[in-house]
Structure formats: structure tokens, C-alpha cells
């Protein structure tokens, strides 16, 4: 899983994808989301869109030890449009917005090793996410993340 949470560690990518229109706000992702499995918890916290961006952070905790953390920023429009991710404090890598609709968005960075694609999709009080790209064996690999609103 460390491999999966190390979403980005090499360089900045071009944001040549499509920006989102002003009507396509991403506030649907805002909130405190919990996932994982027994003994290994994953949390993502997203602030509502303000100042032309959404800010998020995540952490993965195994037992009593933090396994990884990540700072995230989604810029829906403009020259910085894209998903800026910084796992474990490394410099950001940008994934372009390539597709979006009501309550979902997909990002891509074809130049990145793994993942090359990231998607978030909201369904009621559930948030589904996945990352995908070539695995170490060269075959396509897709890793899902299932979240629900955190209690309390």
C-alpha cells in the first residue's frame, strides 16, 4: 500500500487537460472521509472550494503508527488547473483534469510512473476513489479506495 500512497514523487507534469467550468464546483468532495480496513485506517479531509482551489490532506495509520500522509490541492480552472499531490511532503506533481461531471472527476498524468490516472466519485454519503496505471509487472493495475463520512 505504501506503493499506492506514494502517488507522486517525480517532477511536475503539464496541465494540458480540460479545466472545469465555473458551474462545475467540486464542493461535493468537501468533508471528512474515512476508509481502510481493520488495523489500517485512511482518512481524507477536504475543505470546500474557496480562493479558486480545494485543499485536502490524508493520512494512513497502521496500528499506532502513521504510515503515510499527503497534501492535496485541486485547482478547477486557470493556468494551474489540475490535481496537485504531495505524498509525504515531496514536491507536488500535477495531474490534469481530463473528465468530470456531476459528483465525479478524473485526473491524468501520462508521464508519471504510477499512478497515471486518479478518479473521485461521490455517491450519497460514500466517496469512491481509485488510482490506476502500469504495475511493476507492466500490467494495468487499479487500486480502489472506499470512504464513508467519518463519525463525529
Q: 41 and 25 in contact (C-beta within 8 Å)?
A: no
Question: In Å, what is the CA distance from 149 to each residue of 15, 18, 86, 87, 129?
Answer: 30, 29, 23, 22, 14
Task: Please count the structural domains in the chain.
Answer: 1
What pLDDT, on a 0 to 100 scale, did the predictor assign at position 5?
A: 36
What are the grid coordinates assigned to 43, written together? 482518512
pTM of the prediction? 0.84
What pLDDT, on a 0 to 100 scale, did the predictor assign at position 15?
A: 33
- The enclosing domain of 108 has a CATH number of 2.40.128.20
What pLDDT, on a 0 to 100 scale, did the predictor assign at position 57?
A: 98
CA angle 66/72/74 to nearest 5° reads: 160
What Rg do the C-alpha atoms of the chain give, in angstroms? Answer: 15
Query: Could you state, in chain order, the average pLDDT of each consecutive group of 10 residues for the chain (152 residues)?
Result: 34 41 76 96 97 97 97 95 96 97 97 97 97 95 97 80
What pLDDT, on a 0 to 100 scale, did the predictor assign at position 9?
A: 29
Query: Which residues constitute the domain of residue 73?
Result: 2-149
Question: Is residue 4 within a helix (H) or strand (E), and if so which, with residue range?
Answer: helix 2-5
Q: 130 and 141 in contact (C-beta within 8 Å)?
A: no
Amino acid at each position: 500500500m505504501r506503493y499506492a500512497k506514494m502517488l507522486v514523487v517525480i517532477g511536475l507534469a503539464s496541465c494540458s487537460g480540460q479545466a472545469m467550468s465555473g458551474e462545475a464546483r467540486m464542493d461535493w468532495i468537501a468533508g471528512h472521509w474515512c476508509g481502510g480496513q481493520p488495523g489500517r485506517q485512511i482518512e481524507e479531509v477536504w475543505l470546500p472550494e474557496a480562493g479558486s482551489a480545494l485543499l485536502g490532506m490524508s493520512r494512513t495509520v497502521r496500528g499506532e503508527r502513521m504510515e503515510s500522509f499527503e497534501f492535496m490541492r485541486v485547482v478547477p480552472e486557470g493556468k494551474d488547473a489540475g490535481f496537485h499531490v504531495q505524498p509525504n511532503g515531496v514536491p507536488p506533481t500535477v495531474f490534469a483534469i481530463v473528465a468530470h461531471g456531476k459528483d465525479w472527476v478524473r485526473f491524468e498524468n501520462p508521464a508519471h510512473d504510477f499512478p497515471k490516472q486518479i478518479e473521485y466519485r461521490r455517491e450519497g454519503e460514500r466517496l469512491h476513489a481509485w488510482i490506476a496505471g502500469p504495475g511493476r509487472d507492466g500490467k494495468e493495475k487499479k487500486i480502489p479506495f472506499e470512504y464513508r463520512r467519518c463519525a463525529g
